[in-house]
C-alpha cells in the first residue's frame, strides 16, 4: 500500500506527474458516453418502475409537504436553463380550478 504524499509515478512505467497516458493515446473518443452513469440510470429506472412508476411517485409526493418540496426541487433541476427558438402559432389559454385539495 502507498502512503499519502508518496509519489508513485516512478512505479508506473511511461507515466509521470501530468502525463496520465503515453503520447499519442487519444483517450476516450468525443461524444462517448460513460458506462457507469448509463448503468446507474438504467438501474434507477428499473427501481422506479418496481416502486410503482409514475403513479407510485405521485402518491409519494402527495404524502407530505416535504415530499412535494423535494419533488419540485428535483423537477426544477431537470428543466433546461436556456431555451431559444421561434414559435409561430395561435395560442389558446386555458385555466383550471383544482378546488381546495389541489386535485
The shares of helix, strand and coil residues in the chain, as percent rounded to the nearest 5, are 45, 0, 55
Mean pLDDT, range 59-85, rounded to an integer: 91
On the question of pLDDT at 6 being above 80, the answer is no
CA distance 103 to 98: 5
The whole-number pLDDT of residue 91 equals 82
Q: For residue 70, what pLDDT is reported? A: 95
Q: For residues 5 and 17, what is the distance between their CA atoms, to the nearest angstrom?
A: 13
Q: Quick check: 9 and 17 in contact, CB under 8 A?
A: yes
Amino acid at each position: 500500500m502507498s502512503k499519502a504524499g508518496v509519489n508513485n509515478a516512478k512505479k508506473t512505467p511511461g507515466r509521470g506527474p501530468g502525463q496520465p497516458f503515453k503520447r499519442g493515446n487519444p483517450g476516450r473518443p468525443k461524444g462517448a458516453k460513460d458506462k457507469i452513469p448509463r448503468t446507474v440510470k438504467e438501474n434507477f429506472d428499473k427501481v422506479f418502475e418496481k416502486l410503482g412508476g409514475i403513479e407510485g411517485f405521485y402518491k409519494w409526493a402527495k404524502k407530505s409537504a416535504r415530499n412535494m418540496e423535494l419533488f419540485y426541487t428535483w423537477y426544477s433541476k431537470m428543466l433546461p436553463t436556456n431555451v431559444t427558438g421561434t414559435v409561430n402559432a395561435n395560442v389558446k389559454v386555458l385555466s383550471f380550478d383544482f378546488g381546495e385539495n389541489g386535485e
